[in-house]
Amino acid sequence: METKSSDAGVPADYDPAQFPAFAVTVDVVILTMSDGELHMLLVRRGEAPYKGMWAIPGGFKRPTETLDEAARRELAEETGVDVASMLTQFGAYGDPGRDPRMNVVTVAYLAVLRDVGVIVAGTDATDALLAPVAGVLSGQVDLAFDHRQIVRDAIERVRVELEVSGIATAFVGPTFTLAELRAVYEATWGVQLDAANFRRSVAADAGWVIPTGRLAQPGPAGGRPAELYRAGRSWKHGGPIHRLTSQRRPERK
C-alpha cells in the first residue's frame, strides 16, 4: 500500500483515494465434447466494439454478487444450464486497451458440460455457435478482444485438470462406457490411449467411477457390449486422483 520508490514519470505518492474506475466482467469458456472433438460455445457480438464477431460468452459482474456467482449466472443465461458442477476460475485479464471503450478487467472461468442438445436452444440459436476448439486455436475463427488468449489458457488448464482431478466425467453423460471416457482424454490431449491400460488406470483409484452392472449397446460396427459406469466421487473433493501420462497406442493399421 505505501508507495515508496519513485516510478519514471509517475508521481511518487500515487493517491489511492482517487482510484481509477474499472468495469469488471466475467467470461466463461464453455467446453463440451461433440462428435468426438472438443468444442466450445461462442456467441456473436451484437454491439460495438467487435460487432458481429464471435466471442466468449460473458458479462458484467454486479456489485451484489461474487465472481463465482456471476460466472454461474452468465453460464445459465447463455446455455440455460444451471450447474454447480464444474466451474473453475483460471485467470484474470486486464491489459490496457483490451477493450477500446473503457478499462475492463475480466475474470475468466472454465465450464465443462456433458451435452449440448439444450445449450444452443437455451440462447438465441442464430447468435450461438458450437465451434471446434482446434479451429479457434489455429486461428480459423477470429475472436473479439483478447479472447483467443483466454481460450488458449482455458485449454491448457483443462488439460492439467483432466490429469489432476477426475474432471473427465463432467464431459460424459450420467452413465457412460469407458470408451466414452477414454475419448475425452484422447480428444483433449490429442493422443491415442490403450484401452486395456486405460481401464486399469481408471480402476486404480477406487470410487471415481462406479459400475452400474448394466451393459451398453454396441456401436454400428459391432463389438462386445461395454459395461456402463456412473460418476462416483466428485472431482471437487479429492486432490490428485489418477495419472494418465504418455501411453501411446501405435498407428491403427
Which residues are near DNA by CB under 7 A? 177-179, 194-197, 199, 201, 204, 217-227, 243-250
Cβ pair 45, 99 in contact under 8 A: no
| Cβ-proximal residues to 140 (8 Å cutoff; 6+ apart), any chain | none
Residues 148-187 that bind its own copies (CB under 8 A): none
CA distances from 242 to 143, 198, 199 (A): 34, 11, 12
C-alpha span between 17 and 180 (Å, rounded): 55
Q: Please report whether residue 89 would count as binding its own copies according to CB under 8 A.
A: yes
- 201, interface contact from its own copies, DNA, none, CB < 5-8 Å by kind: DNA
Residues 12-71 that bind its own copies (CB under 8 A): 14, 16, 19-24, 43, 45-47, 55, 57-67
Cell digits of residue 195: 484401452
What residues are paired with 21 via a beta bridge? none
C-alpha span between 249 and 192 (Å, rounded): 5
Quick one: 20 or 223, whose CB is closer to its own copies?
20
Residue 226 C-beta: closest distance to its own copies, Å: 32
List of residues contacting its own copies (CB under 8 A): 1-5, 7, 10, 14, 16, 19-24, 43, 45-47, 55, 57-67, 73, 76-78, 80, 89, 91-96, 102-103, 105, 107, 122-124, 127
